Structure 1
């Protein structure tokens, strides 16, 4: 789908850690990885660069962030410049990653792959990973099939082509070549019980009526489909 209203909204407000679970989940996931200094990490759909900065500072890894949205690229580059441990930012698409084969030790996607043609992006993740490289993907997941009218409401706002179940996602990763595929929930990670972190907002521009409408629609969808529209943390490896 070509509707980018939601992504444009995130860029307009420079929203950090808009993915499910937010920064808190990202920190919990990172703390349980074997990332080490010198590892090369690709942050796909890096947005404002919040996770790229966190990775570089916390793990000492060599981080490259990529995003297709010009405003996000601009914001991420600015964040890198002001970071104690700068990282690289590259404009580009998850479906056509501008990197050589077997470049990275880790690929991280935080609520990004669902917004792409995953039959193209998943094989790209596999291609740029070195043998033994790891994938971590936090992705929108449905607990059950929705009636077509309901699916259309969600797809229209977020601009996604498909709504996938956990099994659908596993099939996507498997077809791309990944092995050892795990589907985890946030409760599988050591987060502080009861702590809920909201995205960070930077009012880079006056919020116009369209942006406000997108935000209201987003909140309405989260409320209406709260028992069906969830997410998983997928972990997999390139053999």
Structure 2
């Protein structure tokens, strides 16, 4: 029997991850490099799966400065606190896998703006927020945001390469201050998403061990398509999926 029924979406993607697709910006920055807006995530690990083109991701971490090549089939991922900047090398396209789906979209990312912007919540919010839509006004604002993030990033990188990790550590502390008030909301999202998914697996293991796999009677399949194409993300033009209870539209885009 073939069924045309389309089930609802009460469950998140595998592992409660977030999913989007990016085409890296080809705008040239002050250092002559084309690419996205450097930033970090406070509690989420992010992965790039390269689906086309070439480029790199530049990272700042306690390991120092790295330039990781990106080519079709390669994967790069970075843990919370790692500053990362996507660099365009020619038609770079990636699929982004994001831990703790819902948290990144709720403000887990912080741009590497200069210290005077990071120190003022109103200035930071004004610099980080883009006008709605995908037209020329939004594109111009996204490029200004990128340029401001690169300005702060280059200072951090210069100091780190010179052996001074003070500015990098202070940026991490400033980022933590910016998001502190959001933590209660993040905790709720984590409990409803990633934690609930892990706990559901535990319950399924218990059922299997007890010889009563009744939960298998709920088996089904899901489908989804991108709900926004060509949005202006942090690193590039972004196609995203707005899955109920899983991935929310980015508030800073």
TM-score of the superposed pair, with normalisation by structure 2: 0.27
Query: Normalized per residue, which structure has more strand?
Result: 2
Q: Greater relative contact order: 1 or 2 (C-alpha under 8 angstroms, separation 6 or more)?
A: 2
TM-score of the superposed pair, with normalisation by structure 1: 0.28
Larger radius of gyration: 2
